[in-house]
Structure 1
Amino acid sequence: MRRTSLALLILLAACQRTPAGDAAAPDGRDTSASGLERAAIASGAIADASKISPVGLYQRSHEAGRDALCVIPGKDGQYRFGLEAVFGEEPNCRGHGAARRAGDKLILSFKGGDRCIIVAQYDGDQIALPGVVDMACADLCEGRGSLEGVSFPRIANDAAAALRARDRGNDPLCDA
C-alpha cells in the first residue's frame, strides 16, 4: 500500500512539471500551442495556421440568413476586409476596414465613426468573432443584430473569390 501511494505521488509530481522545451522558444516557434498541437503540426497531421494566409472568402448560410466575410491583400502586409451578418429579414451587421495578423488572431479595425476593433480567432479554416465585442461596434448593426459570437468558415482561399462576393443588396462585399 505504501509503495503504491509513493508511486502515485511520484507520477503526479512528474505530470505537474513543465518540460524544459516548453519555455520561450528562441527560434520563433509558437509556444502558445500545446505540446500535442506542436507535434501534430510538426508531423503534418494539422496545418500551422500561422503560415496560412487569411486571404479568401468565409461564408455560412443558416436558417436566418447568411454570414459572409471577405479578406483581400492590402498595403504594408496588412489586409482589407468586408463582412455582413444577416439575422432574418431586417436585422443585420455590415462593415469593412483593415485587418492585421497577430499570431492566431486577426485584428479587424472597422472604418467609420466609432473606432470598432474586434480581435477574432483565426485557425486557418475559420474566423470566429468573440462572444463579447466593444460597444463601439453596435453602430455596425441594425435592429437587434450583433456580431458577438459570429463565425465564418472558409469556402475559398483566393482574392478573386473574395472580390466576387456580394452582400444582400448585390453590392461588392470587398471593394477592389
Structure 2
Amino acid sequence: MRRTSVALLALLAACQQPPERSVAAPDSGGASVSGLERAAIASGAIADASKISPVGLFQRSHEAGRDALCVIPGKDGQYRFGLEAVFGEEPNCRGHGSARRAGDKLILSFKGGDRCIIVAQYDGDQVALPGVVDMACADLCEGRGSLEGVTFPRIANDAASALRARDRGNDPLCET
C-alpha cells in the first residue's frame, strides 16, 4: 500500500512540472513563427511574408461593392497608400496616407484631422484590418460604413497597377 501511495505521489508531482518552452520563436520582424512555419519557409513551401513588399494593388469585389487598397513606394523606406471600401449605394469609407512595415503588420497612418491609425495584418497575400478600429477612423466613412474587419486580397504586386487604380468616382485611388 505504501509503495502505491509513493508511486501515485511521484506521478502527481510529474504532472505538476512547468510546461516546456514553446517551439515558437520570434522572427526578425518581431512576429512569432513556429518551428514548422520556419521549416516550411526554409523549404520554399510557403513564402516569407517579411520579405514580400506590400507595394501593389489589393482588391476584392463583393455583392455590395468593391474594396480596394493601393500601396506605392514613399520616402525613407515607407509607403503611401489609398483605400476605399464600398458597402452598397451610399455607405463607403475612403482615405489615404503613409504606411510602414513592422514584422507581419502594416501600420496605416491616415492623413486628416483626427489622425486615424490602423495596425493591419499583412501576410504577403492580403491586408486584413482588425475587427475593431480607433474611433478617430469614423470620419473616413459615410453612412453606416466601417473599416472594421475589411480585408484586401492582393491582385497585383507592382506600383504601376497601384497607380492605375481608381475609386468609384473614377479618381485615382493612390495619389502621386
**Considering the TM-score relative to the shorter chain, is it more than 0.5?**
yes
Q: Give the equivalent residue in structure 1 for 2:140.
A: 140
Q: SS at the partner of 1:37?
A: helix
> What TM-score comes out, normalization by structure 2 length?
0.87
Q: Give the equivalent residue in structure 2 for 1:18.
A: 21
- What do residues 98-137 of structure 1 show as CA deviations (whole Å, max 9, x unaligned)? 0000000000000001110000000000000000000000
Q: Structure 1: which amino acid aligns with 2:116?
A: C
| C-alpha displacement of 1:18 | 2.0
Q: Which runs of 5+ in 1 are unaligned?
A: none
Report the count of equivalent residues: 168
Q: Which runs of 5+ in 2 are unaligned?
A: none
> What TM-score comes out, normalization by structure 1 length?
0.87
Q: SS at the partner of 1:161?
A: helix
Whether 1:57 aligns to 2:60 is no
After the TM superposition, which residues 1-176 of structure 1 pair with which residues of structure 2 at under 5 Å, given as runs? 16-18=19-21, 28=28, 32-176=32-176
Query: How many angstroms apart in 2 are the aligned matches of 1:80 and 1:29?
Result: 20
Q: SS at the partner of 1:93?
A: strand
Query: How many angstroms apart in 2 are the aligned matches of 1:11 and 1:37?
Result: 29
Q: Structure 2: which amino acid aligns with 1:54?
A: P
CA RMSD of aligned residues (A): 2.4
| C-alpha displacement of 1:39 | 1.1
| C-alpha displacement of 1:11 | 10
Provide closer, same or farther for how the CA distance between residues 140 and 38 of structure 1 changes in structure 2, counting only shifts above 3 A: same
Q: SS at the partner of 2:40?
A: helix
